[in-house]
Structure 1
Amino acid sequence: MEITVKPLIYGYVRIEDGSSEDDIQQAEQRMKHLARAEGFSYERTFYEYVSGDHSTFEELIAEIQRVEARAVIVPSYEHLSAHPILFQIMVERLSQEASACLWTVEGDAPIGADDATLGGI
């Protein structure tokens, strides 16, 4: 029997004021569904609770470096950052520091890690 190892993907969700538990759970379920459909093994979700604080993003970078994961998924790009310059910096960090690409459940093509499909996997 052949065992197939699926590439790991991690979720990242920025929790905004007024987000309901139901909204958060639905966002995570959509990320997990897309990850499975694209052939990933969904490992876990990192939640950023404090606006302007990126400590959870730092933990995400450290974790994907540690396990050599090559993909991160978000409900939308705004979950990384709504500010275009900060967004670009964060995508570059994922790509350059962790060789990871960024996926979104909104159907956008993955970006980062040289914009290769599946992040070069």
Structure 2
Amino acid sequence: MTTRPTLLGYVRADALSCAEELAAATDELVAFASAEGFTLGTVYTERDAAESAAFHALLDEAKRTDIRAVVVPTLQHLGAVGTPAALQQQLEFHQAHVWAAGTR
């Protein structure tokens, strides 16, 4: 039996309008991970974009583990703590490929 690689998730709560959208975004990440042959690990949820604590925790995990993929609902979810492209580059610098699960 082959173990599926782990994929981390990142969601900005302020990019969504309500708790139901947050739950739907998380479900979307789960479905994406399963469809692409991954197990979804921790989903980091950014609640305070000004502090970006969840993004930094995600980045720390990517640095210290062998997890090499991150999924977000859309690339705009990376825009809270910088430009989406700059944050994607930070993750990819640490060999964590970034995928967008859908079109939120």
TM-score in terms of structure 1 length: 0.76
TM-score in terms of structure 2 length: 0.88
Q: How do residues 64-79 of structure 1 correspond to structure 2 at under 5 angstroms?
A: 64-79=62-77
**CA shift for structure 1 position 93:** 0.7
Q: Given that residues 9 and 72 in structure 2 are in contact (C-alpha distance below 8 angstroms), is that contact kept between their aligned partners in structure 1?
A: yes
2:84 maps to 1:87: yes
Q: Per chain length, whose mean CA-contact separation is higher, i.e. which structure has more relative contact order (CA < 8 Å, sep 6+)?
A: 2
**CA shift for structure 1 position 88:** 1.7
- Structure 2's unaligned 5+ residue stretches are none
What is the identity percentage for the equivalent residue pairs of Structure 1 and Structure 2? 28
**CA shift for structure 1 position 51:** 2.4
Aligned residues between the structures:
103
State the match for 1:105 in structure 2: 101
Q: Could you list the per-position Cα deviations for residues 80-100 of structure 1 after superposition, in whole angstroms to 9, with x for gaps in the alignment?
A: 1179x722211111011x201
- Give the direction of change, closer, same or farther, for the CA distance of 1:6–1:18 in structure 2 (3 Å limit): closer
- Give the direction of change, closer, same or farther, for the CA distance of 1:52–1:27 in structure 2 (3 Å limit): same
- Structure 1's unaligned 5+ residue stretches are 108-121
